[in-house]
Structure 1
Amino acid sequence: MSVVSTDAIDKWLLNRKWAPRDLSAPPAGSDLAPVPGDPGMPLLGHSLEMLRLGVRYGLKRYETHGPVSWVRAFGITIVAAAGPEAAQVVLANKDKAYSQQGWTYFIGPFFNRGLMLLDFDEHLYHRRLMQQAFTTDRLRGYLDRIGDVARRGLAGWRPGERFTVYPALKRLTLDIATDVFMAADLPAADSERITRAFIDTVRAGTALIRLPVGRWGAGLRGRKVLEDYFRRSLPAKRASDSDDLFAALCHARTDEGEMFSDDDVVNHMIFLMMAAHDTSTITTSAVAYYLGKHPEWQEKVRAESLALGESPPDMAALDRLGTLDLVIKESLRLVAPVPSLVRKTVRDTDLLGHYVPANTLVSVTPWVNHLVPEYWPDPRRFDPERFAEGRREDKVHRMAWMPFGGGVHKCIGMHFGMYEVKYLVHELVRRFEWSVPSDYTVRWDPTALPIPTDDLPVTLRAR
């Protein structure tokens, strides 16, 4: 019996052609062009290609249709705004045509009223209040906590021929998040339950069947677990003088004395915990992969970290790790931890000369932007020097490199995230050496956020 290879299936999905069709006719007398595209398979549309191929599919659409095109997927019509120019129009949002309601369709039931799902003046109000949890002084305090948890966690890693990096880092970043965000040391059973709940809520957004079963149902149950946990913890946190992020949200005040409601704090904590530990895990995993593939860069990073001495690094010391900074930025380019951003049009609008009607979901694709050859020479090659002074390929367009999004919704915790990843890799290279086979290429599962399908096995050695 013959077996069709995975590569053959991928190739078939990638190259399947469908009859082109315009999305919607522009109004009479308009000089705008219709959005080109196609609906894909009956019922499923292009869902399978998106779930299986991820960025490869996005790049193929960009190559075939240009920066603006439409598809049917997950039961809805989606306009892809691919490439830096299209991203600039959507995220700058000068005419306020694009709302965050696009996220509501995918993750609204699981991350209800998280910062990323709020719009316009309400978003600005919540963001300004939340910014009090991310001041420089607070970042310094968080960094001390990150260091303590990271050193304890890494001390438990056991070198071996097949050490799986991703689950070990996921556990470590959750421990960091619970300590930094909640000043809590969860018992093993609670930690496992909370971890499972976060995984289920993140993955639920790409469920093909939206019923209280399967992936969608697991996400709804995960949301309930998280909501119950934070709501039970909230009264004590309101009364505490703790220096963690949970307490910072409880005590944040405007000049007029306004505060987040209990519901606001719970919603923001669920969203921030997900955003903090998932994206940090993905980024640190990507850095570990590329340093395992490129030992010369691993040695350069290690030399800088060893030069800092034995003391736990503060923010200024981490800022001096210039080589590591280049490696992290290149890893973020090659593996965008948030591969797409969703908006919804609240009125008819012009997207690069194309007519996009009101109530249309629009997807901006950072991962595609990071790999388009017009902006990145030899885009698939790992080359941290792209970000070095004198080259700065990321400066060719403000939306060519956008791992933290852009516009007014740019990630509020990006500095926290960068310091966390830097600290983790700094400790890793000081304690361990690792490698992967020369012919090994990781496959990133694009179902929700990109994670290594095989958990990223490496040969880990103690130094």
Structure 2
Amino acid sequence: MWLLLALVLLLVILALEMLRFVRNMRTIPGPLPLPLLGNAHLFLGLTPAEACLRMGELAEKHGDTFGLFLGPSYSVMLFNPRDVERVLSSTQLLTKSEEYSFLGRWLNEGLLVSNGRKWHRRRKIITPAFHFRILEQYVEIFDRQSLRLVEELKLRRSRGHAGVNLGEAIHLCTLDAICETAMGVSLNAQTNVDSEYVQAVKTISMVLHKRMFNILYRFDLTYMLTPLARAEKKALNVLHQFTEKIIVQRREELIRSGKEQEASTKEDVDDVGAKRKMAFLDILLQSTIDERPLNNLDIREEVDTFMFEGHDTTSSALMFFFYNIATHPEAQQKCFEEVMSVVGQDKSTPVTYELLNKLHYVDLCVKETLRMYPSVPLLGRKVLEDCEINGKLIPAGTNIGISPLYLGRREELFSEPNSFKPERFDVVTTAEKLNPYAYIPFSAGPRNCIGQKFAMLEIKAIVANVLRHYAVDFVGDTSKPPVLIAELILRTKDPLMFKLRERVY
């Protein structure tokens, strides 16, 4: 009986929302919806890769701005940089779209999904965690974990006659790096792939993808009855208990050392940060809001957010970086020569913050990779009040979708958009004038990625150490680009395989 009533209520909500959608189509074009199904039929039965292509087809057919009804919400896709600028630079359009709510069970109200005053206050206290003096200390972790990756790749080379799944190995490396920088503890994911925490991260990533992109899992009423919900609950118990255990241990250490009170200001954070290596967690433990320290839940949601945002995105960027330079040997050679000139020929020389900032050409290759293959292919906002975006009326309740992936591939914005041309980002030599809101791999405006400098340093540290030890060749058909899957994080339909040749010099 209750299930039937829930189903009827769901159908009524869908019908009302669809009426609103049809009214909006007077000013915003889009594909005609079917009764109750809306535009979901356009994506039913498609693989994630095919769904990604379908979105591009809709953009070509309906223009830079078009609407979609993917029950129970109405969404408007914006593919014009002027519209994108209007949204991302706004101090009013800061609320994330409904899809981000699926992250709530893991991240609660961490920086990524929080809104309003809470987001503003959290952003303010977290910003010092990415000060260059703190980032300098993180580079030592990046260096150590990437050298461990080099050793793991040596083992994989000996076992993988058909090639090495570099993306899988890098994913575990970035998970180790983010865990140590976030919580100050070693997860050892690279050598302990079957650990409970590593498996829980895999499970929760799979759950989030299915909830965001499969209409059958979008509604809480029906989702909670599925085996997927039970798998999510089990994984969340592992993730939350691990983080909470570390928080309690670190808080007790601070209390015992008598440093909690004296380190409660920003100046003290900087002083302590200069004396000993600080994890992101330590900075949160020493921070205050309205002169009150954060409680364990406050800290857990920010640490979990840092964990979520900092490993999958970086590993995606690195996988596509190595694909690009493997299929463009001249670019790989220039990267290698630059690493040699900056770091030197001694493979044991540690990479440092100062050295990484000198890797200019590597930096160009990373930027070009993120144009072609942005780690986060889709950004979302929710309109809370009726607004106008460059002449387009967007009603309250609308979700706005912005795709860095499609923006980066538009011929109107980038010459030869499907070609790997790192020099286009060289401000000294390039003649190509880039629209700042056409290139947004780290988003832009007030809610841009707070950890982009962290990410760039980690990427360059891993690149430098891998290239010092190996030349990287792509194992596959170089005449066709990889088939992309625009999930929560950009991936390929099939794993990218590489052959690694040990460098001797």
Aligned to 1:14: none
SS of 2:175's partner is helix
The alpha-carbon deviation at position 390 of structure 1 amounts to: 4.5
Counterpart for residue 83 of structure 2: 86
Q: Structure 2 matches for 1:334-353, cutoff 5 A? A: 334-353=372-391
Residue from 236, 251, 275 that aligns with 2:286: 251
Structure 1 match to 2:216: 209
Q: CA RMSD in A?
A: 2.5
Alpha-carbon distance, 1:50 to partner? 8.6
The aligned residue for residue 205 of structure 2 is 199
| Whole-angstrom distance in 2 between the partners of 1:101 and 1:405 | 14
Q: Once the two structures are superposed, what CA deviation does each residue of 1:380-429 show, in whole Å capped at 9, x if it has no partner? A: 11111111124657853221100000111100100000000001111111
| Counterpart in the other structure of 1:77 | 74
Give 2:358's aligned amino acid. R
| TM-score, normalization by structure 2 | 0.80
Q: Pick closer, same or farther for the CA change 1:50–1:105 going to 2, 3 Å.
A: farther
Query: What's the offset of the Cα at 1:440?
Result: 5.3
Pick the aligned partner of 1:271 from 295, 299, 305: 305
* Mapping 1:178-327, distance limit 5 Å: 178-186=179-187, 188=192, 189-203=195-209, 204-210=211-217, 211-212=223-224, 213=226, 215=228, 217-240=230-253, 243-253=278-288, 257-307=291-341, 308-309=343-344, 310=346, 311-327=349-365
Match 1:435 to one of 456, 473, 496:
473
What do residues 422-452 of structure 1 show as CA deviations (whole Å, max 9, x unaligned)?
Answer: 0111111111112124335322222331122
Answer with 189-198 or 172-181: which moved more. Answer: 189-198
Residue type of the partner of 2:485?
A: D
Query: TM-score, normalization: structure 1?
Result: 0.87
* Equivalent-residue separation in structure 1 for 2:205 and 2:126 (angstroms): 24
**1:182 aligned partner, one-letter code:** M
1:6 is matched with which residue? none
What is the count of residue pairs matched by the alignment? Answer: 436
Q: Distance in 2 between matches of 1:214 and 1:282?
A: 28
Counterpart of 2:488? Answer: 448
Range with bigger deviation, 316-325 or 388-397: 388-397
Q: Does residue 36 of the first structure (1) align with residue 29 of the second (2)?
A: yes
5+ long unaligned stretches in structure 2: 1-18, 218-222, 255-276
Per-residue displacement from partner, 1:337-396 (whole Å, max 9, x unpaired)? 011111111111112211111111111111111111111111111111111124657853
Of residues 182-191 and 259-268 in structure 1, the stretch that sits farther from structure 2 once superposed is 182-191
Q: 3-state SS of the aligned residue for 2:396?
A: coil
Aligned to 2:261: none
Once the two structures are TM-superposed, the CA of residue 156 in structure 1 deviates from its matched residue by 2.0
Does residue 141 of the first structure (1) align with residue 141 of the second (2)?
no
Partner secondary structure for residue 350 of structure 1: strand
Aligned equivalents of 2:315, 2:204: Cα separation in 1: 13
Counterpart in the other structure of 2:124: 128
Residues 1:24 and 1:105: Cα distance change in structure 2 (over 3 Å): farther
The one-letter amino acid paired with 2:454 is F
Secondary structure at 1:362's aligned position in 2? Answer: strand
Aligned to 1:29: none
* Partner-residue secondary structure (3-state), 2:75: strand
Supply the distance in 2 between the matched residues of 1:306 and 1:40 (Cα, whole angstroms): 57
Q: In 2, distance between residues paired with 1:320 and 1:168?
A: 26
Separation in structure 1 between the aligned mates of residue 456 and residue 488 of structure 2, nearest angstrom: 21
Higher Cα Rg, which structure: 2
How far did residue 84 of structure 1 move?
1.1
Q: Deviations over 1:303-341 (max 9, x none)?
A: 011112132122221111111011100100001101111
Distance of 1:381 and 1:416 partners within structure 2: 27
Cα–Cα, structure 1 residues 97 and 458, in superposed 2: closer, same or farther, change >3 Å?
closer
Partner amino acid for 2:178? A
1:122 CA drift (Å) = 2.2
**CA-CA distance at 1:225 after TM superposition:** 2.4
Show the counterpart of 2:260.
none
Cα distance in 1 for partners of 2:232, 2:78 equals 28
Return closer, same or farther for 1:316/1:414 CA change in 2, 3 Å cut-off: same
Deviates more, 1:293-302 or 1:59-68: 59-68
User: Structure 1's 47 and 268: CA in aligned 2 closer, same or farther, altered over 3 A?
Assistant: farther
Instruction: State how far apart, in whole Å, the 2-side matches of 1:171 and 1:51 are.
Output: 24
